């Protein structure tokens, strides 16, 4: 089982170039995760205890508002990561993440990973660099969407 997970993690774009040894460390605290369409990977407010490396399907990151239903702020697909709030306190999910299509992922235990990284600063720095890259990209694209480029700019 761990061998399978090692293979899936090694093939995941987010972990590209990571040492086999380090991949095995992650795989040791991971489990396969399948989410049928419509089910939730993550719920707002719950403990941020898993990082999902998605390799199949599409995940909708959303917030729920009464009367307005779920508001999708971003969708995430294969090769991407769902769940970023495990990195720093308060370790609580800020959004819901719903499987928009059936999702296949590898879920890595976040508390266990934090312990491993505390012992292995070099790996820790590497993963945080990769994570920063994802955060930066999401921040940039979110900023671009904030500009509402396709809007009418208040001209009418």
Partner 1 sequence: MVAAVEPAARTAPGHGPLTPALYRVVERQVELDDVVTLSLEPEDGPAPPFAGGQFNMLTAFGVGEIAISISSAPGDPGPLRHTVRDVGAVTAALCASPVGAVVGVRGPFGTDWGVDGIDPAADAVIVAGGIGLAPLRGAVDELVARRRGTAGGGVFVLVGARSPDQVLFPPDLERWRADGAHVGVTVDAGAPGYDGPVGVVTSLLPEAPFDAERAVALVCGPEIMMRFAVRSLLERGVDPGRILVSLERNMQCGVGLCGHCQLGPLLLCRDGPVVPYGGVAEGLLGEHRR
Partner 2 sequence: MGVDPGAEAVVDREGLDRLVGVLAERGFATLGPVVSGGAIVHRPLQGVDDLPAGWHDVQAPGHYRLEHDGGDELFGWAVGPSSPKAEFFPSAETVWRARSEGQRVSLSAPEPPAAPTAVVGARPCEVRAMSVLDRVLRDGAHPDDRYTARREGAFVVAAECGAPSGSCFCTSMGSGPAADDGFDLAVTELLDGDHRFLVRVGSAAGAEVLGAVPHRPATEDDRRARQAVLDGARRRMGRSLDTEGLPALLARNLDHPRWAEVAERCLSCGNCTLVCPTCFCSDVKDVTDVTGGIERHRRWASCFDLDHSYLHGGAVRPTTASRYRQWLTHKLSTWWDQFDESGCVGCGRCITWCPVGIDLTEEAAAIRATDGAEAGSGGVGA
Selected binder of partner 1 within 7, 71, 122, 135 (CB under 8 A): 71
Tokens representing residue 62 in the block: 């959303």
Q: Single out the residue of 44, 41, 55 nearest to residue 99, CA to CA.
A: 41
* Interaction between residue 150 and partner 1 (CB under 8 A): yes
**Does residue 153 belong to the site contacting partner 2 (CB under 8 A)?**
yes
Tokens of 20: 């086999």
Nearest in space to 115 (alpha carbons), one of 26, 7, 19:
26
- What's the min distance (Å) between Cβ of 94 and partner 1? 16
Q: Taking the alpha carbons of 97, 75, 147, 68 in that order, is the dihedral positive or negative?
A: negative
Choose among partner 2, partner 1, none what residue 3 binds, the Cβ cut-off being 5 to 8 Å by kind.
Answer: none
* Residue among 140, 120, 139 at smallest CA distance from 18: 120
Residue 148 binds which of partner 2, partner 1, none (CB < 5-8 A, kind-dependent): partner 1
Interaction of residue 135 with partner 1, rule CB under 8 A: no
Interacting residue with partner 1 among 29, 72, 112, 128 (CB under 8 A): 72
Rg (CA), the chain: 17
Backbone angles phi, psi at 132, to 5 degrees: -60, -40
Count, residues near partner 2 per rule CB under 8 A = 3
Quick one: 125 or 145, whose CB is closer to partner 1? 145
C-alpha–C-alpha distance, residues 114 and 99, integer Å: 26
**CB closer to partner 1, 122 vs 139:** 139
Structure tokens at 148: 């509402």
Using rule CB under 8 A, residue 79 touches partner 1? yes
Smallest distance, partner 2 to C-beta of residue 154, A: 8
Binding region for partner 1 (CB under 8 A): 58, 60, 62, 68-75, 77-79, 100, 141, 144-145, 147-152, 155-156
């Amino acid at each position: 089982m761990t061998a399978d997970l090692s293979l899936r993690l090694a093939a995941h774009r987010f972990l590209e170039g990571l040492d086999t040894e380090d991949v095995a460390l992650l795989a040791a605290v991971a489990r396969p995760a399948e989410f049928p369409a419509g089910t939730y990977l993550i719920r707002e407010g719950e403990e941020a205890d898993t990082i999902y490396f998605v390799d199949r399907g599409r995940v909708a990151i959303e917030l729920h508002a009464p009367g307005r239903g779920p508001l999708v702020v971003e969708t995430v697909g294969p090769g991407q990561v769902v769940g970023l709030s495990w990195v720093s306190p308060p370790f609580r999910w800020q959004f819901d993440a719903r499987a928009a299509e059936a999702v296949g992922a590898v879920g890595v235990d976040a508390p266990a990973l934090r312990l491993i990284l505390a012992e292995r600063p070099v790996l820790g720095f590497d993963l945080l660099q990769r994570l920063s890259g994802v955060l930066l990209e999401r921040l940039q694209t979110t900023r671009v969407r904030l500009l509402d480029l396709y809007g009418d700019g208040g001209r009418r």
